Structure 1
Amino acid sequence: MLSKSIKEFFPLKIVRLDSTNAVKQFDCGDKDLNDFILNRASAFQKHRLAVSYACVDVDDASKVYAYCSLANDKVAITDFKDKTEFNRFRKEQGFPNSKRLKSYPAVKLCRLGVDNTAKGRQIGTAVVDYIKSMFGIENKTGCRFLTVDAYLDAVPFYVKNEFNFMNAEDSDPHTRLMYYDLMELKS
Structure 2
Amino acid sequence: MVRQYIDNESIRFIRLQPFNKVKSFDCGDADLNDFILNRATLFDKYMLAVSYTCVDINDTSRPLAYFSLANDKIATSDFPSMTEFNRFRRKQGFPNEKRLKSYPAVKLCRLAVDICAKKQKLGTQVLNIIKSMFVINNKTGCRFITVDAYLAAVPFYEKNGFRMMNLEDNDPHTRLMYFDLMDLVA
> TM-score, normalization: structure 2?
0.94
Secondary structure, counterpart of 1:139 in structure 2: coil
* Structure 1 partner of 2:64: 65
Moved more, 72-81 or 20-29: 20-29
**Matched residue count:** 181
Cα deviation code 1:107-140 (max 9, x no counterpart)? 0000000000000001100000000000122211
**Is the contact between residue 105 and residue 142 of structure 2 (CA under 8 Å) also seen in structure 1?**
yes
1:95 aligns with 2:94: yes
C-alpha distance in structure 1 between counterparts of 2:146 and 2:38, whole Å: 24
Match of 2:41, SS state, is helix
* 2:156 matched residue in structure 1: 157
> Which residue identity does 1:61 align to in structure 2?
T
* Corresponding residue of 2:82: 83
Q: What aligned pairs does 1:25-64 form with structure 2 within 5 A after superposition?
A: 25-64=24-63
Aligned to 2:8: 7
Taking the aligned partners of 1:80 and 1:159, their CA distance within structure 2 comes to: 19
Shift in Å, 1:173: 1.2
For the pair 1:132 / 2:131, whether they are aligned, the reply is yes
Residue identity opposite 1:100 in structure 2:
R
**CA separation in 2, counterparts of 1:93 and 1:69?**
26
Structure 1 contact 164–180 (Cα < 8 Å) conserved: yes
Aligned to 2:171: 172
Deviation per residue, 1:134-177 (Å, 9 max, x gap): 01222111000000000000000000100000001213111100
- The 4+ residue runs of structure 1 with deviation greater than 4 A are none
Pairing of 1:97-112 with structure 2 (within 5 A)? 97-112=96-111
What residue is the counterpart of 2:3 in the other structure? Answer: none
Asked whether the equivalents of residues 137 and 185 of structure 1 are also in contact (C-alpha less than 8 Å), the reply is: no
Contact 2:66–2:113 at 8 Å: present in 1 too? yes
For 2:7 and 2:95, how far apart are their aligned partners in 1? 36
1:20 alignment partner, SS class: helix
For 1:152, the aligned partner's letter is L
The amino acid that maps onto 1:78 is: S
Aligned-residue RMSD, C-alpha: 1.3
For the 8 Å contact 1:67–1:114, the answer to whether it is kept is yes
Pairwise CA distance, 1:24: 0.7
Code of the residue aligned with 1:137 in structure 2: it is I
Distance in 2, Cα, partners of 1:182 & 1:142: 11
Cα displacement (A) at 1:6: 5.1
Unaligned runs of 5+ in 2: 1-5
Question: Could you report, residue by residue, the CA deviation over 1:27-61 in whole angstroms, capped at 9, with x for unpaired residues?
Answer: 00000000000000000000000000000011221
2: CA distance, partners of 1:23 / 1:169: 38
2:27 alignment partner AA = C
Q: Percent identical across equivalent pairs?
A: 66
Q: Distance in 1 between matches of 2:66 and 2:31?
A: 13
SS at match of 1:185: helix
The whole-number CA distance in structure 1 between the counterparts of 2:136 and 2:85 is 26
